[in-house]
Structure 1
Amino acid sequence: MSNPVVEQVIIGKMSKTKEIAVVAFLIAIGAVLRMFSPAILGITPNFVIAMYCLAILLLRPRIGMALGIGIVAGAVSMIFSKSPIPYLNLATEPAGALVCALLASYLPEFSIKNYSFKPSLATLMGTLVSGGLYVVLNFRLALNLPVAAMQAAFVGVVIPVAVINMVIAQALYAPVKKFLYR
């Protein structure tokens, strides 16, 4: 079982300034990609979630910092949201960041030949929580749409975006980690 404190000592500790720069850079990349990426079959991938999950997986922050990353990501997401209620991101992104951070810290290592699949699982779950909460808040509370519409949005949008984010985070994790901790 992986111990986050031991892993951080083994990897090497970054300065707070470098950690903040890594988070800012990754969230900015996610925002730019989200702003300019075309919809694929009506779905715009949420690269901001993929990038804040990647930042959390790389830095393994404490819960407070993870929530801060989620709040910043939510504020950035509001700017590029195509939703009628963009401020919901201020609740959904911190929830997704919290789940990602908890899984990154406490999920046992799942790897094959030293290749960790923890980025896939943590990003998938973080995206599902963020997207699922967004659908519930948007469809049920704000717009008061039927449950069937909420289910269709979850299956048709949230799950595909979660899979895309999972692939992105998994593909980028090892090379970015190698770059940061060389």
Structure 2
Amino acid sequence: MRMNNPVVEQVTSTGMTRSKEIAVVAFLIAIGAVLRMFSPAILGITPNFIIAMYCISILLLRPKLGAALGIGIVAGAISMIFSKSPIPYLNLFSEPAGALMCALLTYYLPEFSIKKYSFKPCLATFLGTLVSGGLYIILNFQLALHLPPAAMKAAFIGVVIPVALINMVMAQALYAPIRKYLFR
């Protein structure tokens, strides 16, 4: 005899059960982790696909801010495993900040679309990546390594902005097909 668990089977505002939402987030973050692990550095920059994937999950599922923060914490923990930084635990601060930015934009940014094609994924992912990467740079360069502001600026321009652009394109390209598949 199967017992129904009202917490797991509760249908959310997206029409999915919580267990399916958790599975979607886990699956997307896992894809981001695999891509990050196996993608080669491009001009010395390793794209952070985990950010793109948690942004897509936030855009699709529209979690409350606490749940978005949880998604960011999980993403930060996973990012620590694949970080090439001397201080990988900083991801536990930067990824939740990026996830919160993405969630705030998801809720409060007016719909930016042409016909039925939304451009919110590219903007939310771009800004989420900038917040995550910017905070990471500040924490890493100013608080931990005590490097000059010029080094922080160079890292932001040379690493964070290109990664944000890569994530933006990736999230925009994947959002519609994933949404169509999940909500068919």
TM-score normalised according to structure 1 size: 0.94
Select 1:125's aligned residue among 101, 105, 127.
Answer: 127
Q: Cα deviations across residues 76-113 of structure 1 (Å, max 9, x unaligned)?
A: 00000000000000000000000000001110001011
Partner of 2:158: 156
Q: Quick one: higher RCO (CA 8 Å, sep 6+), 1 or 2? A: 1
Select 2:46's aligned residue among 33, 44, 53.
Answer: 44
Partner of 2:136: 134
Q: CA RMSD in A?
A: 0.9
Partner of 1:143: 145
Q: Distance in 1 between matches of 2:148 and 2:98?
A: 24
Matches within 5 A, 1:1-182: 12-182=14-184
Large movers: runs of 4+ above 3 Å: none
The CA deviation at 1:114 is 1.3
Runs of 5+ unmatched residues, structure 2: 1-11
What percent identity do the matched residue pairs reach?
79
Q: Distance in 1 between matches of 2:37 and 2:112?
A: 33
| Bigger share in helix | 1
Structure of larger gyration radius: 2
Q: Distance in 1 between matches of 2:169 and 2:183?
A: 22
TM-score normalised according to structure 2 size: 0.93
What amino acid is the match of 2:28? L
Runs of 5+ unmatched residues, structure 1: 1-7
Q: Cα deviations across residues 123-164 of structure 1 (Å, max 9, x unaligned)?
A: 000000000000000001100000000000000000000000
